[in-house]
Amino acid sequence: MEQLAELVAAVTIAHTVHALAEVTNVRTKLQRVIDAKAGKTLKPYPIDINTRAKAYGIGLSLPIFITLVAYGVLAWLSPSVGTLLWMTVILLAIVELFSMVSLDKYHIDIEPVIRSFNRGQKGAGKSS
């Protein structure tokens, strides 16, 4: 049971890192669109992930790597099953709250961008 709890906690750690990175990436891309629309010079991305193959490769390998490292650390530390479960619950709550707040801000920030593209288009923004 302890090994299963360590594995669940390790997967939760990997999920937390991935979810925080994805939400941050979405916000960063939106800011680039806003900056481009404002005529600002865009800096190159810090990491050159420009193909689906690279995105899927990193998207699959990084969580597995993080899970393995986290599992190793947790097995070495050997916390109780109760501690592991509490850590899992807390991490999931943190990532959910961060995602909710960040994605809400994304929706607020993207609305003016969408409206600017819809100006002058008859029926823009209305569903058929």
pLDDT in tens, the chain (128 residues): 899 999 999 999 999 999 998 898 889 889 888 888 888 988 887 777 778 898 899 889 999 999 999 999 999 999 999 999 999 999 999 999 999 999 999 999 999 988 887 776 655 555 44
Torsions phi, psi for 9 (to 5 deg): -65, -40
Greatest distance between any 2 Cα atoms in the chain: 63
pTM of the model: 0.79
Q: How far apart (Å, rounded) are the C-alpha atoms in residues 18 and 50? A: 18
Token pair of 17, please?
């890192």
Which are the contacts of 117, defined by CB distance < 8 A and separation ≥ 6? Answer: 124
Which are the contacts of 128, defined by CB distance < 8 A and separation ≥ 6? Answer: none
